[in-house]
Amino acid sequence: MCKAGGGGSAALDAAHDQFLHTMIRVSDPVATIRFFELIGLAEVRRIDNEQGRFTLIFLAAPGQEGLAEVELTHNWDPQDYTGGRNFGHLAYRVDDIYATCQALMDAGVTINRPPRDGHMAFVRSPDGISVELLQHGHLPAQEPWASMPNTGSW
């Protein structure tokens, strides 16, 4: 619930309000789950809705179940989804940005914005959703990342 603060601004009632999830529509849930597993998320629950012909799949980082999740919505009837960048992006903190990016590259994922600074990288999910990876703390710049150019848009 939002409460009016000084000057008419809204403030969250910290006792009751919390971020729950971000929803993205996906065309291939298996590929999307595999992608998010590479950056440390796991499936925490799944809801199949026969009448609505869709499946909701919730993913979370360890210890974040019910706190900050990604909801994958898979409509059973084929649909085209476009505009991943106009969605904005999802952001995840990682323990080792270089190891995470290497695991993604080894799995065939393009690193659109490499972690040249040891702090930030961008990749895209199989459905084109931009995902920002942020290093927990700071790592010094290292090759091959420091001189790797951007690829595509992020």
Tokens of 121: 């990288």
Q: Which of 37, 65, 71, 132 is catalytic?
A: 132
- Check if the beta carbon of residue 125 is closer than 8 Å to that of residue 114: no
Catalytic residue at 132?
Answer: yes
List of residues 6+ apart from 152 with CB closer than 8 A:
110, 112, 124
Going 26 to 132 to 61 to 99, the CA torsion angle's sign is positive
Strand ranges, E, within the chain = 2-4, 10-12, 21-25, 42-49, 54-60, 69-75, 89-94, 111-113, 120-124, 130-135
- Check if the beta carbon of residue 36 is closer than 8 Å to that of residue 126: no
With 0-12 CB in 10 A as exposed, 13-18 as middle and 19+ as buried, what is 68?
middle
Residues forming the active site: 132
